[in-house]
Structure 1
Amino acid sequence: MPVEIFMPKLGMSMEEGTIVEWLKKKGDPVKKGESVVVISSDKIEKDIEAPEDGVLLEILAEQDETVAVGKVIGYISQKNEVERDQSTTTMKQANLEAAISVETMKPLEAVRRKPRVSPAARKLALEAGIDLNSISGSGPQGRITRADIEKAIQAKRSGSDLQRKKQLEIATMQQKTNNHTGVTVKPITGIRKVIATRMFTSLQQTAQLSIHMRADVTELLEIQKKVRADFLDEHGVKLTITDFIARATILALLAHKQMNSIYQDEHIHTYDSVHLGIAVALENGLIVPVISHAEKLSVKEISAKIKNLSLRAKEGNLESEEMKGSTFTITSLGAYGVEFFTPVLNPPEVGILGVGTVTDTPVFVGDVVQRRSLLPLSLTFDHRVIDGVPASKFLSTIKDYLEKPYKMLI
Structure 2
Amino acid sequence: MPINIEMPKLSDTMTEGTLVTWRKNVGEEVEIGDIIAEIETDKATMEMEAFDEGTIVEIKVQEGTKAPVGAILAVLAEEDEDVDAPAPAAAAAPAAAPAAASEPVAKEAAAPAPVAADGSRLRVSPLARKIAAEKGVDLNAVQGTGPNGRIVAADVEAAPVASAAAPAAPAVSPAPAAAPAAPAQGILPTVGPDDKVVPLSTMRKIIADRLLTSKVTIPHFYLHVECDAAPLMALRKQINAQTEQTGGNKYTVNDFIVKAIINAAQEVPAVNASYNGDSIVEFANVGISVAIAVEDGLVTPVVKEAQNKSLLTISEEIKDMAKRARDKKLKPSEFDGGTITISNLGAWGVEGFDAIVNPPQAAIVSVGGIIEKAVSVNGEIKSGLRMNLGLSCDHRVVDGAVAATFLNAVKKFVEQPTLMLV
TM-score scaled by length of structure 1? 0.73
Q: How far has the Cα of 1:27 moved from its partner?
A: 4.4
The whole-number CA distance in structure 1 between the counterparts of 2:49 and 2:235 is 48
Q: Verify the 8 A CA contact 2:46 2:330 in the aligned structure 1.
A: no
State the match for 1:316 in structure 2: 328
Instruction: Report the count of equivalent residues.
Output: 330
> 1:263-302 residue pairs with structure 2 within 5 A?
263-302=275-314
State the match for 2:113 in structure 1: 86
State the match for 1:5 in structure 2: 5
- Do the aligned partners of residues 34 and 218 (structure 1) sit closer, same or farther apart at CA in structure 2, a change above 3 Å counting? same
Select 2:215's aligned residue among 203, 206, 224: 203
State the match for 1:393 in structure 2: 405
Amino acid at match of 1:42: D
- Do the aligned partners of residues 362 and 377 (structure 1) sit closer, same or farther apart at CA in structure 2, a change above 3 Å counting? same
The DSSP-based 3-state class of the residue aligned with 2:82 is: helix
Q: How far has the Cα of 1:24 moved from its partner?
A: 6.5
Q: How far has the Cα of 1:375 moved from its partner?
A: 0.5
Q: How far has the Cα of 1:182 moved from its partner?
A: 1.6
Q: Verify the 8 A CA contact 2:23 2:38 in the aligned structure 1.
A: no
Q: How far has the Cα of 1:59 moved from its partner?
A: 0.4
The whole-number CA distance in structure 2 between the counterparts of 1:178 and 1:90 is 54
State the match for 1:38 in structure 2: 38
Q: How far has the Cα of 1:341 moved from its partner?
A: 0.9
Select 1:181's aligned residue among 193, 199, 207: 193
1:327-363 alpha-carbon deviations (Å, 9 max, x no partner): 0011111000011111111110000001011101111
The whole-number CA distance in structure 1 between the counterparts of 2:266 and 2:190 is 59
The whole-number CA distance in structure 2 between the counterparts of 1:391 and 1:31 is 54
The whole-number CA distance in structure 2 between the counterparts of 1:356 and 1:228 is 22
Q: Verify the 8 A CA contact 1:20 1:40 in the aligned structure 2.
A: yes
1:66-90 alpha-carbon deviations (Å, 9 max, x no partner): 402x343332236863478824486
Q: Verify the 8 A CA contact 2:18 2:41 in the aligned structure 1.
A: no
Identity of aligned residues (%): 30
State the match for 1:226 in structure 2: 238
State the match for 1:325 in structure 2: 337
Deviates more, 1:255-264 or 1:400-409: 400-409
Q: Verify the 8 A CA contact 1:260 1:274 in the aligned structure 2.
A: yes
Select 2:390's aligned residue among 375, 378, 383: 378
1:166-207 alpha-carbon deviations (Å, 9 max, x no partner): xxxx99x9xx99972321213212222221221112112211
Q: Verify the 8 A CA contact 1:277 1:288 in the aligned structure 2.
A: yes
Q: Verify the 8 A CA contact 2:362 2:397 in the aligned structure 1.
A: yes
The whole-number CA distance in structure 2 between the counterparts of 1:177 and 1:82 is 52
CA RMSD of aligned residues (A): 2.8
Q: How far has the Cα of 1:28 moved from its partner?
A: 4.7
Unaligned runs of 5+ in 1: 95-169
Structure with higher Rg: it is: 1
- Do the aligned partners of residues 339 and 262 (structure 1) sit closer, same or farther apart at CA in structure 2, a change above 3 Å counting? same
> 1:332-351 residue pairs with structure 2 within 5 A?
332-351=344-363
The DSSP-based 3-state class of the residue aligned with 1:257 is: coil
Q: Verify the 8 A CA contact 1:64 1:190 in the aligned structure 2.
A: no
Q: Verify the 8 A CA contact 1:20 1:63 in the aligned structure 2.
A: yes
The whole-number CA distance in structure 2 between the counterparts of 1:64 and 1:211 is 43
> 1:63-82 residue pairs with structure 2 within 5 A?
63-68=64-69, 70-77=70-77, 81-82=82-83
Q: Verify the 8 A CA contact 1:30 1:56 in the aligned structure 2.
A: no
The whole-number CA distance in structure 2 between the counterparts of 1:255 and 1:26 is 55
Deviates more, 1:233-242 or 1:399-408: 233-242
State the match for 1:212 in structure 2: 224
State the match for 1:409 in structure 2: 421
The whole-number CA distance in structure 2 between the counterparts of 1:90 and 1:21 is 39
* Larger helix proportion of the pair: 1
Q: Verify the 8 A CA contact 2:24 2:37 in the aligned structure 1.
A: no
The DSSP-based 3-state class of the residue aligned with 2:113 is: helix
The whole-number CA distance in structure 1 between the counterparts of 2:47 and 2:17 is 12
The DSSP-based 3-state class of the residue aligned with 2:16 is: strand
Q: Verify the 8 A CA contact 1:58 1:76 in the aligned structure 2.
A: no
Amino acid at match of 1:19: T
1:125-166 alpha-carbon deviations (Å, 9 max, x no partner): xxxxxxxxxxxxxxxxxxxxxxxxxxxxxxxxxxxxxxxxxx
The DSSP-based 3-state class of the residue aligned with 1:259 is: coil
- Do the aligned partners of residues 242 and 236 (structure 1) sit closer, same or farther apart at CA in structure 2, a change above 3 Å counting? same
The whole-number CA distance in structure 2 between the counterparts of 1:23 and 1:316 is 14
State the match for 2:47 in structure 1: 47
The whole-number CA distance in structure 2 between the counterparts of 1:235 and 1:316 is 28
Amino acid at match of 2:17: T
TM-score scaled by length of structure 2? 0.71
Q: Verify the 8 A CA contact 2:37 2:47 in the aligned structure 1.
A: yes
1:278-302 alpha-carbon deviations (Å, 9 max, x no partner): 1111111111111111111222222
